Each structure stands twice: as C-alpha cells, then as structure tokens.
Amino acid sequence: MATIEKIQVETDVLESVGINNEIVLFNDDVNTFDHVIDTLIRVCNHDELQAEQCALLVHYKGKCVVKTGTFDELKPQCSSLLEAGLSAEII
C-alpha cells in the first residue's frame, strides 16, 4: 500500500512597493547627442557608455527608459532633465 505524503511549504513573498516607476526620455530635434549624454551622466548617474546607449535608443526608437525607482526618487531627476531642455516624463 502506497502512502501519499503532503508537505506544506511556507514561502516568503517579497514585494517591491513603489519601485515600479520609470523616467522615459523622448526624442527631439533640438538637443545634440553630446548634450543628452552629458545630462544623463550628470542627472541620472549613468556612466558614459550607458548614456551613449540611451541616447542612441532615444534617437532610433523614439524613447528610452533611463531610470527606474520610486516616484520620490525620480521626480527631482526628471525635473532636472526637463530643466536641461530634454523631453522626459515619469510613468
């Protein structure tokens, strides 16, 4: 006679609360690649390669997520991007 053993497993579920916001940078016909790259390095703490890749994605795809985090973390960064003349929004 076979016995069936039931095992109850307790699983911890970690939720990331409020970290699902993103800054999206949009393409424009005004800003140079150098300005976009320099601004991403200064405002979003990108390294040079990351900033260049984002600038290329924005140029060819029309937009790129440049930063993720909580709304409170992203708001001042998005404001700085806007003040630098870039087109960005938090989604």
**Which CA distances in Å does 82 have to 6, 11, 26, 43, 91?**
58, 43, 11, 11, 15
Task: Determine phi and psi for 25, rounding to 5 degrees.
Answer: -100, 135
CATH of the domain at 70: 3.30.1390.10
pLDDT digits 0-9 by tens, 53-80: 999 999 999 999 999 999 999 999 999 9
Q: Is residue 49 part of a domain?
A: yes
Per the structure, the complete domain to which residue 84 belongs is given by 29-90
Q: Is the pTM of the predicted complex or chain greater than 0.85?
A: no
User: For residues 18 and 11, what is the distance between their CA atoms, to the nearest angstrom?
Assistant: 22
Query: How many domains, the chain?
Result: 1
Task: Determine phi and psi for 87, rounding to 5 degrees.
Answer: -100, 115
User: For residues 68 and 23, what is the distance between their CA atoms, to the nearest angstrom?
Assistant: 6
Q: Is residue 6 part of a domain?
A: no
User: For residues 47 and 67, what is the distance between their CA atoms, to the nearest angstrom?
Assistant: 13
